[in-house]
Chain A
């Protein structure tokens, strides 16, 4: 056993990169909302990139460690404390036996990833450990964490003792005014020129209706040429649907695989991770980008991971 859940917090679920290969059968990807913080947490814990972690939302949980462990915490700053002492966010650290790790409210960002050296052990469901609440699949019995849940480690690994901090240059800053790069399409031709200009030039506000399935925004209306409804086609995380109300809905990790509203654009992968850290009342602006720019952003992200990995390795191996 690595730890017992004393209090799960607002919504804490076990997640990995998600469940791919079944979208033709209507199965959403699920998985982590913020791929950057998730990947960094696994790197800092010395894990493989797809090890299962705990994703905490808005208000974090409290965990009891009867035995020693090594964990990493990345993402929103939930003011984590180990045995009452403040921990460093975006770092991996040693947890002595009989410890308590406690998180509070997210003072910046929205989601925090708690990775355990060795990864969380839960059975794979259709190739993934991710919790998909709607189908009661993955994680622990397909549900969110509850108090008294016991988390086990997937692989017994030697525990490092050193603090493993992420380089300052690799730590993202969560702002309340986000700029999201989008690739226009697939149905941008169903919007008026004025509608597209509105979408790209005006600011939107994150509404209180935001969860693992979608973020609903408020703001100026994006005008369709004739109507919002299309004969349903495929939906992916990042897709920006504009329903009849005219305000954007951005699809997230748990989004259904098909949908019937026109999609004006798609938020690029690296920027969707930023949106996963946004909270109600945050401002969102969309900026159009090309395929080449999106690929460059993916390459930059990959380089960040490589840089973090090589710095992390020496610390992890210094047992």
Chain B
């Protein structure tokens, strides 16, 4: 098996179960402790859903044979201890789950929609005006469009808790800043091209900042350090600048419970 890519052909069910087609899923090597299950090479919600399904199955079914899994846009990284299980055995195990991935899991797919309150514009969103001007819409329209639909968290990366979100409207897409900012406060909500996201920790960055959330996306001292996981959806909701401070205090004192809805994935 060494030096070769392990490939599995599985039957994929389209949304309405017809038509069927064959999908080639590749298992790639990422060092002696890493196995990449690659479902595709592009950003595609259906592909990403498969990634999250396999992540759940592996975490539930064979926790003792894997160290951890990392879902990304289009593949699942599976970290394992090669002194505990050899790659070939793990590959065969995963291949068995893959053949039933769509039929077994799709029906029971549930997800969470987490509401993210955001104070748009002003000092918290210094680039809101530019985003509006760039797209020939008003600032209020940018806010309305940005809060119009939940965005799926395809994956988390870049910094602890930073969500890569999908599904933002082209109507408010704006290129990155020419010169990145040196320091962006945690909680800043930004736009880069057709992507939107939240800076999870204070960091440098070039995204257009349109607002800020008082919630802590990443809080290392909390029992659950992360507000959301890959596979969840985020629904941004506009709050008044005056509300920001009070919410921030509630969050800091641990008295804020985020608004979370559990829904069937098909209903989002």
Contacts and interface: CB of A to CB of B under 8 A. Distances in A.
Contacts of A25: 156, 160-161, 218, 225-226, 229
B82 A24 contact: no
Contact of A26 (B2, B159, B220, B221): B159
Interface of A: 20-28, 125-126, 134-137, 183-187, 189, 230-234, 236, 238-239, 256-259, 263, 266-269, 290-292, 294-295, 298-299, 302
Contacts of B55: 24
Contacts of A230: 41
A24 B70 contact: yes
Interface residues of B, number: 50
B268 interface: no
Contacts of A136: 201
Contacts of B164: 232, 258
Interface stretch (B10-18, B26-34, B240-248): B26-34
Contact of B73 (A21, A137, A187, A232): A232
Interface string B54-93: 0100000000000111111111010100110011000000
Contacts of B156: 24-26, 257-258
B162 interface: yes
B49 to A, nearest CB: 15
B38 interface: yes
B43 A134 contact: no
A233 B74 contact: yes
B3 to A, nearest CB: 7
A106 to B, nearest CB: 27
Interface string B205-226: 0000000000000101100011
A231 B43 contact: yes
A263 B28 CA distance: 11
A258 B157 contact: yes
B143 interface: no
A258 B155 CA distance: 9
Interface string B146-174: 00000000011111111010000000000
24 contacts: A25-B156, A25-B229, A26-B161, A125-B220, A183-B31, A183-B32, A184-B29, A185-B29, A186-B34, A186-B38, A187-B28, A231-B42, A232-B155, A232-B164, A236-B34, A239-B30, A256-B158, A266-B31, A266-B34, A269-B31, A269-B32, A290-B2, A291-B82, A295-B82
B69 to A, nearest CB: 6
B72 A234 contact: yes
Interface of B: 2-3, 5, 28-34, 36, 38, 41-43, 55, 67-75, 77, 79, 82-83, 86-87, 155-162, 164, 200-201, 203, 218, 220-221, 225-226, 229-230
B160 A298 contact: no
The list of the 6 closest CB pairs from A to B, nearest first, reads A258-B157, A266-B31, A234-B77, A186-B28, A294-B32, A185-B29
Contact of B72 (A126, A137, A258, A291): A258
Contacts of B70: 23-24, 234, 257-258
A6 B127 CA distance: 46
Contacts of A238: 31
Contacts of B38: 186, 233
B159 A233 contact: no
A275 B22 CA distance: 43
A52 B103 CA distance: 47
B157 A232 contact: yes
A25 B200 CA distance: 11
A268 B73 contact: no
